[in-house]
Structure 1
Amino acid sequence: MAELRIVSLIPSATEIVAALGLVDCLVGRSHECDAPPAVESLPVCTAPNLDPQGSSREIHDRVEDLLQAALSIYRIDLEQLEQLRPTHVITQAQCDVCAVSLSEVEDAVAQLTNHSPQIISLQPQILGDVWQDIRRVAAALGVDATPLLSALQARLDVCQNRTYASRPGVACIEWTDPLMAAGNWVPELVEIAGGKNLLGQTGQHSPWLTWDALVAANPDVMVLMPCGFDLEQTRRAAQDMIQHPHWGKLKAVQAQQVFLADGNQYFNRPGPRLVDSAELLCEIFHPEPVSVYGGQGWERL
């Protein structure tokens, strides 16, 4: 087999490649790829066209301004891509806000003068799509995905097969200002972890949400998991939510059942760590004396 030279332009794909045992074949990454730690030394092939720092509302407004002007949110370093001479470029067509779009990658690859890498595009909507993407990546790279997928499914089965005394009603919030409920695979993760998902639909893009709708759902548990935010950024976003006049009406708030999660490292990376995300939710919904993810992946507000 010819030498593999893989450029991954989305964090979940980087983690899939690493989980398949091919981390040493990665030669380039996106500006957001940070796991496993070994990839942080790789050349960076993308950059944002906006300032990613600020409040939820400020970031939202910057994204909207770019989209309304028909401008790209990210840019590809074509010169870097040319120098890396990849055999494969892995990207996504799931969300143009989260990473470079498939069309942008296709345009960039078409401009390369000395090689023509294979483009692998991921577009998962549900957990089953994520597992199928792992199979497709593995097949394109000439390895067997079965051991990895079997191990991931075994861990999910542990969560799903537990007996729970109750199933709390859960609201997962993917953006805080404006409000957005978590869709796609997150409702499945909630159900696997022993909760009852109240907002957002499996396999559907995350929907915008009004405060009136959140109050009407009145969740027993609320998990804030803003896309792209780590725990510190989520803490700041939560402080803005607390100021809303409807905040105190929520059952989860009154019962001190509001939790912050690292949405960047877990729920918004459709790869192997979605299993970690299910396990993390298990810890929140059904506390045990020992926590694996507490303090690192989640904390109580």
Structure 2
Amino acid sequence: MREFPPRRIVCLTEETVETLYLLGEQDRIVGVSGYAVRPPQVRKEKPRVSAFTSADIPKILALEPDLVLTFSDLQAQIAAELIEAGVAVHAFNQRDIAGILAMIRTLGALIGASERSEALAQTFERRLADIASSTRGHCRPRVFFEEWDNPLIGGICWVSELVEIAGGEDVFPHLRSMKAAKDRIVPPEAVIEAAPELILASWCGKKVVPEKIRQRPGWDAIPAVRNGLLFEIKSPLILQPGPAALTDGLDAIRAALAAVR
């Protein structure tokens, strides 16, 4: 890193972008992922330099970043190329709510804003605790979260945790320990057997088509399908392991659960 705190930051996923804006440190951002949409003004204010598994390395280097923020093993090759070019890189890999909160605190430390990032993390912690407390003792509808449709993939850990905080019961809680999507593939027959009362779907970058879900063989026996309780949650709200999931994503789950009760 050329100096501390870094003055020129490139964010290759959305959650660090949103966190920096929430901390009032958006002026440090000089480049973002093409998927960054929160807050809305980011699409006008910041140049886009990457997709998720690919990036314009020359464009990033031309921005002369002091720090590049990446996420997960899927961006390992991008990180390696930047490191070889002499760029400081921090790779996050949060997969649960505790990891999201740690990301916020770590990012604050990286930019010299530890007090503000701690306050932000504590705000989220209090909100999660309050919502979880409000659902105790209530009926807990059975929920299937569908992260992809072909093959059928169940929700990652932070999504499963948020379903429970919101007052639902994840029908496949064992999948939360599986970090890789390929390890969360679910046979359609298993969903029929689990009989969820609510199906939440977020097809990671493409629009959910409820009719396709309803037409799956045998799924008309599932209570959620029979009762029309199929809800889409937009990917930027729930599949980004950052502030969006803890706020609007969680609220979307709560709204869907309210339709069951």
Query: TM-score band (shorter)?
Result: 0.7 to 0.9
2:247 is the alignment partner of 1:243: no
Aligned counterparts of 2:48 and 2:8: Cα–Cα separation in 1: 14
Unpaired stretches in structure 1, ≥5 consecutive residues: 49-73, 289-301
2:237 aligned partner: 266
Aligned counterparts of 1:82 and 1:125: Cα–Cα separation in 2: 29
1:89 aligned partner: 68
2:143 is the alignment partner of 1:170: yes
TM-score, normalization: structure 2? Answer: 0.88
2:50 aligned partner: 46
Asked whether the equivalents of residues 5 and 112 of structure 2 are also in contact (C-alpha less than 8 Å), the reply is: no
2:88 is the alignment partner of 1:118: yes
Following TM superposition, the consecutive aligned residue runs of length 4 or more in structure 1 with deviations greater than 4 angstroms are none
Matched to 1:273, the amino acid is A
Range 143-152 or range 33-42, more displaced? 33-42
C-alpha offsets along residues 185-239 of structure 1, whole Å, 9 cap, x if unaligned? 111101100111112533423401111101011101111122223xxx11x3x33
Change (3 A) 1:106 1:241: same
Give the aligned length.
248
Aligned counterparts of 2:218 and 2:151: Cα–Cα separation in 1: 14
1:225 aligned partner: 202
Larger proportion of helix: 2
Unpaired stretches in structure 2, ≥5 consecutive residues: none
Aligned counterparts of 1:131 and 1:2: Cα–Cα separation in 2: 21
1:71 aligned partner: none
- How far residue 3 of structure 1 moved from its aligned partner, in angstroms, is 5.7
Matched to 2:70, the amino acid is T
- How far residue 148 of structure 1 moved from its aligned partner, in angstroms, is 0.5
Asked whether the equivalents of residues 125 and 204 of structure 1 are also in contact (C-alpha less than 8 Å), the reply is: no
SS in 2 for 1:226: coil
Aligned counterparts of 2:95 and 2:58: Cα–Cα separation in 1: 32
C-alpha offsets along residues 111-168 of structure 1, whole Å, 9 cap, x if unaligned? 3xxxx43211110121101111111111111102111011111221221111453101
- How far residue 47 of structure 1 moved from its aligned partner, in angstroms, is 4.1
- How far residue 287 of structure 1 moved from its aligned partner, in angstroms, is 4.9
2:160 is the alignment partner of 1:192: no
Matched to 2:230, the amino acid is V
Asked whether the equivalents of residues 6 and 90 of structure 1 are also in contact (C-alpha less than 8 Å), the reply is: yes
